Every structure is written in C-alpha cells, then in structure tokens.
Structure 1
Amino acid sequence: MTPLKLIETTPGAFSLLLNAGTTQVDELVEHLGHEPNGSFWEGVARFLVSTEAENLEGRFSYDPEGGMFCAYGNDRTALQDLGDLMSIVARDGDRMRKLIMTAEAAGFDFDD
C-alpha cells in the first residue's frame, strides 16, 4: 500500500495516512495544474470511491490537512481497500493522468 500507511490509533479505530508531496506522481499532478496536498488526495479518494468502489461510500470519514491526507474510521477493511486503490494512483503516472482527465471531464473539483 506504499506510500500510504494504515495505523490503529486506538483499539478498533484506524487511520489511513499519506504524507502529501512524497509520491511518485507529484510532479505530474503539478504539471496538470493541481497541488498534491492533503485536500487534493481527498479528492482523489472521493473520486475513486464514487467511480470505482461505491461499496466504500460512507464507511469512513476524511480529515486532510495541507501536508497530509487522512481517512479514518472503525472499518479497517474499508480503509485497507481505499489504500490499495490510492496506492496504485500514487505510483502510476499514467493512472493518475487518466484519473485527473476523467474527473475534470466530469466536472469534478479536487478542491486543492
């Protein structure tokens, strides 16, 4: 799930974390007109859930900050599944380019 990390913050509570600015696609994201900050990655997560993993909808919450993406909740499996989806995008420039282009064509706002 690199570069994301899934941690148990308290018994039964989990956080999925990504330090913004540490992925293999950061330069590409900037080239495509976005800032690869925590809010951008929340947008990536929301878009992935809405288009590829609707079964994850409502199973966790988001709490990004400028330098970090965070999703949290009690459903470890849902967060693991989100992390698996996001890690592919965070490591594959072609996949990220396609995601951004598809999202923008659909009028999606990454809110970065």
Structure 2
Amino acid sequence: MEPMRMVETAPGKFSLLLDAGTTDVDELVEELGHEPNGYFWEGVAQFLVSTEAPSLDGRFSYDPEGGMFCAYGTDKPALEELAALMTAVAEDGDRMRNLMTAAEAAGFEFDD
C-alpha cells in the first residue's frame, strides 16, 4: 500500500494517509504546475473516484492539510480500494501525467 498507510484510529474507524512530498511523482506534479500537498492529493482522490470508481462516492470523507492527505471513515474496504487507485498514480509518472491531462480536459481544478 506504499506510499499510502491505513490507521485504525478507534475500533472500526480508519484513516487513509499519505505524507505529502514523499511520492515518486512529486517532481512531475511540480513540473505540471501543481504543489504536491495534501489538498492536491485530495483532488487526485476525488478525480479518481469520479472517473474510475464512482461506487466509492460518499463511502468516506476527506480531511487533508498541507503536509498530509487524509481520507477517513468506517468503510475499510472502500478506503483500501482508494489506496490502490492512489498508489497506482503516486508511483507511476505516466499514470499521473494521464490523470492530469484528463482532469484538465474535464475542467477539474485541483485545490493546491
């Protein structure tokens, strides 16, 4: 699940975390005109959910900050699915570039 990590914050409550600035694609994100912070990664998650995994919509919440992406909730399988989607982007420059191109074409704006 690298670079993502899952934490059980209370029995049956989970947080999916990504430390901003620690992925293989950070330099590429900056080259594409974005700041790879927690808010940017929330945008990545939202775009992935809307385009590739609409069944995840509404199954968890987001609470990013500048230094960290966080999605949380009680639906661990949904968070695990999101982790797999995000890991694929965070570890593959071509995948990130394709996501950014698709987001731009769709008029999606990242809040970074």
Q: Residue in 2 aligned with 1:111?
A: 111
Any gaps of 5 or more consecutive residues in structure 1?
Answer: none
Deviation digits for residues 64-107 of structure 1, max 9, x if unmatched? 00000000000000000000000000000000000001101110
RMSD: 0.3
Q: Residue in 2 aligned with 1:102?
A: 102
Q: Residue 44 of structure 1: SS of its match in structure 2?
A: helix
Deviation digits for residues 50-69 of structure 1, max 9, x if unmatched? 00000000000000000000
Q: Residue in 2 aligned with 1:6?
A: 6
Number of equivalences:
112
Q: Residue in 2 aligned with 1:15?
A: 15
Q: Residue 23 of structure 1: SS of its match in structure 2?
A: coil
- Report the TM-score, using the length of structure 2 for normalisation: 0.99
- Report the TM-score, using the length of structure 1 for normalisation: 0.99
Deviation digits for residues 12-66 of structure 1, max 9, x if unmatched? 0000000000000000000000000000000000000000000000000000000
* Aligned equivalents of 1:77, 1:58: Cα separation in 2: 13
- Runs ≥4 residues deviating over 6 A: none
How do residues 1-112 of structure 1 correspond to structure 2 at under 5 angstroms? 1-112=1-112
Q: Residue 80 of structure 1: SS of its match in structure 2?
A: helix
